[in-house]
Amino acid sequence: MGIVLAFAPFIGFALVDRFAGSLAGLATGAALSAILIVRDALGAGRSVKLLEIGTFVLFAGMAAWALLGDPGWSVMGVRLRVDAGLLAIVLATMALRRPFTLQYAREQVPPEHWNTPGFLRTNMVISGAWALAFVVMVLADVGMLLMPEQLMRVGILVTIAALIGAIKFTQWYPERTVAQR
pLDDT tens digits along 148-160: 888 888 988 999 9
Confidence (pLDDT) at 65: 92
What pTM did the predictor assign? 0.87
Residue 108 or 45, more confident = 108
Average pLDDT for the chain: 90
Q: What share of the chain is helix, strand, coil (3-state, %, to 5)?
A: 85, 0, 15
Q: Give percent above pLDDT 70 in the chain.
A: 97
Does the pLDDT value for residue 178 go beyond 70? no
CA angle (48, 12, 173) in 5-degree steps = 60
Is residue 82 within 8 Å of residue 58, measured between CB atoms? Answer: yes
Confidence (pLDDT) at 1: 53
Q: From residue 39, how far is each of 52, 124, 130 by CA, in Å?
A: 11, 25, 23
Does the pLDDT value for residue 131 go beyond 60? yes
